[in-house]
């Protein structure tokens, strides 16, 4: 976590988040994971502390901070013992709300952005559908104009915060039937007739995060519910994914670091064949490799953060960092579980939760496969079909 780009202010912020996580989040990890839900008060409390919407202007409940503060937050939330927290906050502050800040009307900012940053309204982002994941252009949810209303029909799946959210930043097709054009954004309130949560999804990991399947059946919203320009929905949304990928990667590496620290501790305590595991070369070398990989992943992320902070938009490096971080964290978590032996396989030991939570990193926020496609396209140009 040492890098010349972090100033004393960043370090002070890191300290205050770390204290908050140690005192108010980490001790509840087992309880909230068991309940399959962390309480809404996590959002309100973080809103109080000014941890949500860090980069937005104060007028909209933000702290006017730079990008590196968001990186620090993502790293420190990874120390909560739950991948769920970092993921939920990322959606709240870095995915569902940036388009509101950038493309919303003043009214929309006051109604949605401000309370989201205060932790008073919980947000979710509705892109993915049962038949459109990596193939984002294939989305089929439609919004049909009728007088001064839009009528929305469709389904969304894998929507983080979707069960408890007060509103959704929704992607729906208003124009052309296929492709990236003809798609628009809408802000839809929970409770709008025709908008229902059909299922809370039962996931392998991130179990304290609520993930929803949503249904829109002739859901009517006023014309004012459109966010930004009609037909520009994809462009309004896609630009923000790059920043979010760096933060997701930082959070994953932080959790990989935690898994590594658990293994480091266990290896020095567990005695077999008359010696602690940390005495045996296989374990020593494995731990050496684990720490090395985490460090390498971290610095690739820091490089991207530095470039992003300087106003650059390094799509290739960001994809590399996300790909590498997710894969490294997964390898480290698996090795950490292995070091724990039989106890690593028990639900009563925390390492299994890190292992299960980290597994999502290679899928969520852009799969490994899509990252590789992006990198290859950047380097080689797109191949014609």
Closest CB to other proteins among 241 and 375? 375
In whole angstroms, the minimum distance from the beta carbon of 350 to other proteins comes to 8
Rg (CA), the chain: 21
Are 162 and 211 spatial neighbours (Cβ–Cβ below 8 Å)? yes
Closest CB to other proteins among 197 and 296? 296
C-alpha span between 385 and 246 (Å, rounded): 30
In whole angstroms, the minimum distance from the beta carbon of 203 to other proteins comes to 24
C-alpha span between 254 and 267 (Å, rounded): 20
Closest CB to other proteins among 148 and 269? 269
Closest CB to other proteins among 158 and 354? 354
Neighbours of 304 (CB within 10 A): 28
In whole angstroms, the minimum distance from the beta carbon of 288 to other proteins comes to 4
* Both structure tokens of 180: 């990236």
In this structure, are strands 275-276 and 195-200 parallel, antiparallel, or unpaired? unpaired
Are 247 and 71 spatial neighbours (Cβ–Cβ below 8 Å)? yes
In whole angstroms, the minimum distance from the beta carbon of 135 to other proteins comes to 29
In whole angstroms, the minimum distance from the beta carbon of 260 to other proteins comes to 8
Q: Cα dihedral sign for 160, 162, 166, 170?
A: positive
Q: Which residues bind other proteins (CB under 8 A)?
A: 22, 26-27, 81, 258, 261-262, 264-265, 268, 278, 284-285, 287-289, 291-293, 295-296
Closest CB to other proteins among 26 and 197? 26
DSSP line for 111-141: IIIHHHHTTSS-EEEE--BTTBSS-GGG---
C-alpha span between 211 and 158 (Å, rounded): 6
Q: Alpha carbon of 332 to those of 54, 144, 158, 310, 326: distances in Å?
A: 30, 48, 26, 31, 10
Are 293 and 331 spatial neighbours (Cβ–Cβ below 8 Å)? yes
Catalytic residue among 75, 76, 240, 244: 244
Q: Is 271 helix (H, G, I), strand (E, B) or coil?
A: strand
In whole angstroms, the minimum distance from the beta carbon of 285 to other proteins comes to 4
Closest CB to other proteins among 127 and 258? 258
> Is-catalytic flag, 11?
no
Catalytic residues: 244
């Amino acid at each position: 976590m040492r890098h010349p780009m972090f100033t004393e202010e960043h370090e002070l912020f890191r300290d205050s988040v770390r204290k908050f996580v140690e005192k108010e989040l980490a001790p509840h990890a087992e309880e909230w994971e068991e309940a399959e839900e962390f309480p809404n008060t996590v959002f309100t409390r973080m809103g109080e502390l000014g941890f949500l919407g860090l980069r937005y202007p104060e007028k909209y409940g933000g702290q006017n901070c730079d990008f590196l503060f968001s990186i620090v937050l993502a790293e420190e939330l990874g120390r909560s013992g739950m991948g769920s927290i970092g993921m939920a906050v990322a959606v709240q502050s870095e995915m569902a709300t940036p388009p509101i800040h950038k493309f919303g009307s003043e009214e929309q900012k006051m109604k949605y952005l401000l309370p989201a940053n205060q932790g008073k309204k919980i947000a979710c982002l509705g892109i993915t559908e049962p038949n459109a994941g990596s193939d984002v252009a294939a989305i089929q949810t439609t919004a049909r104009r009728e007088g001064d209303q839009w009528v929305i029909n469709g389904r969304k799946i894998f929507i983080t915060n979707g069960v408890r959210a007060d509103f959704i930043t929704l992607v729906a097709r208003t124009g052309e039937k296929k492709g990236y054009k003809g798609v628009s954004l809408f802000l839809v309130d929970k409770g709008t007739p025709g908008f229902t949560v059909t299922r809370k999804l039962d996931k392998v990991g991130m179990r304290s995060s609520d993930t929803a399947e949503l249904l829109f059946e002739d859901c009517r919203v006023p014309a004012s519910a459109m966010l930004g320009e009609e037909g520009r929905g994809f462009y309004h949304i896609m630009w923000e994914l790059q920043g979010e990928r760096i933060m997701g990667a930082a959070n994953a590496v932080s959790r990989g670091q935690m898994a590594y620290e658990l293994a480091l501790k266990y290896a020095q305590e567990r005695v077999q064949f008359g010696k602690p595991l940390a005495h045996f070369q296989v374990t020593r070398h494995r731990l050496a490799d684990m720490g090395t990989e985490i460090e390498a992943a971290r610095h690739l992320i820091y490089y991207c953060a530095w470039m992003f902070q300087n106003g650059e938009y390094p799509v290739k490096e960001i994809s590399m960092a996300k790909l590498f971080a997710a894969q490294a964290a997964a390898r480290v978590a698996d090795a950490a579980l292995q070091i724990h032996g039989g106890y690593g396989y028990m639900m009563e030991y925390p390492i299994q939760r890190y292992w299960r939570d980290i597994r999502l990193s290679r899928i969520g926020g852009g799969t490994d496969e899509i990252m590789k496609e992006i990198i290859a396209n950047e380097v080689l140009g797109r191949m014609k079909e």
